[in-house]
Amino acid sequence: MSSQPAPRFPWNLIASRRYRWATGASIFTVVVFFFTLRNFELFTQRGPLFHTTVDVDWSRFAYTQYVTNSEYLCNSVMFFEALHRLSSRADRVMMYPSRMLESDDDRSSDARLLIKARDEFQVKLVPITVQHRNNADATWADSFTKLLAFNQTQYSRVLSIDSDSILLQDMDELFLLPPAPVAMPRAYWLYPDKEILSSQVVLIQPSEVEFARIMDRVNSASNDDYDMEIVNYLYRNNALVLPHRPYDILTGEFRGDNHTKYLGSDVEAWDPAAVYNEAKLVHFSDWPLPKPWLPTPDDLRLKSQPKYFKKKRKEVCN
């Protein structure tokens, strides 16, 4: 048996009162420092209050958009630029009509935008056939194309977001939600009169089985059925409902004068700057005004623009 004495802590060094006091004070300072740092991080974050510490394989997840024409292609490139600028970690997938990019030598403006998205913003280009229905209203005739996101089975989850929108913050945290065939916010502007899920933002678990169900529904769709009706028909009772705040706000909200539906109660005061800072996605929807890239008659714009009103001698823009 070895009889070497164990190394001993030099207690005699801190035995004097002065040293004991100094050691206690240093330990206290270190503890307070780390505690403050932790809390500082918790309270200064703009995003979610917690972060997962498990390793996440972000290549299993993708944001998807579908493009049916040149206007939507332009919107979609701006959307993916935002994801790139915000350093989102998931993949980026753009489903585009295969005719738009015949080869890398293609000099059309569509092809140039597609190549820019691919090379500058790391977008994976997936050629598709636009799902057009002649019976449908022109605005929505191609909207079934969105449902091809259910067919992107190379991913375990995709987040389909309409491209007629502006992305202000990334939504990476949604990919880590508990499993559900789809997760969507409600169309808050219709609630509670109508409990409809809005297909502007849909988190999807792509699957062959679900895609087959979707295509069955598309093929038997009536004249008034678009992508939103189909998703509601199939998933209204088993979707995970996302809060519309902060994932979906309409541009029209900012010029309305009753915000109860968006705020969710009549207790909270409307603060447009705070709402804008909270929002992650602003969707261009401003009925009766058309989408912003379409010409708007002047009289309609003047009639619809936010009202000025006087409030306590101060001019306030609503």
Ligand X SMILES: *[C@@H]1O[C@H](CO)[C@@H](O)[C@H](O)[C@H]1NC(C)=O
Residue 313: CB atoms within 10 A of its CB come to: 5
Least Å distance, CB 144 to ligand X, is 10
Least Å distance, CB 140 to ligand X, is 18
Q: Letter for the amino acid at 220?
A: S
Question: How far is the C-alpha of 141 from the C-alpha of 132, rounded, in Å?
Answer: 6
| Residue 276, CA distances (Å) to 84, 86, 181, 248, 255 in order | 21, 17, 30, 11, 13
Least Å distance, CB 120 to ligand X, is 26
Q: Is the dihedral of CA 218, 223, 229, 234 positive or negative?
A: negative
Given a contact cutoff of 8 angstroms between Cβ atoms, the answer to whether 111 and 100 are in contact is yes
Q: Phi and psi (nearest 5°) for 126?
A: -115, 110
Question: How far is the C-alpha of 285 from the C-alpha of 24, rounded, in Å?
Answer: 62
Least Å distance, CB 194 to ligand X, is 12
Q: Is the dihedral of CA 87, 293, 143, 255 positive or negative?
A: positive
Least Å distance, CB 42 to ligand X, is 35
**Six-digit token string for 279:** 């929002």
76 vs 151, beta carbon nearer ligand X: 151
130 vs 202, beta carbon nearer ligand X: 130
237 vs 258, beta carbon nearer ligand X: 258
Least Å distance, CB 128 to ligand X, is 6
Least Å distance, CB 260 to ligand X, is 4
252 vs 290, beta carbon nearer ligand X: 252
Residues that bind ligand X (CB under 6 A): 128, 148, 151, 258, 260-261
172 vs 210, beta carbon nearer ligand X: 210
128 vs 141, beta carbon nearer ligand X: 128
Given a contact cutoff of 8 angstroms between Cβ atoms, the answer to whether 184 and 203 are in contact is yes
82 vs 148, beta carbon nearer ligand X: 148
Listed in sequence order, the residues at least 6 apart from 304 whose beta carbon sits closer than 8 Å to its beta carbon are: 255, 286, 288, 289
Burial class for 252, CB neighbours closer than 10 Å (0-12, 13-18, 19+) = middle
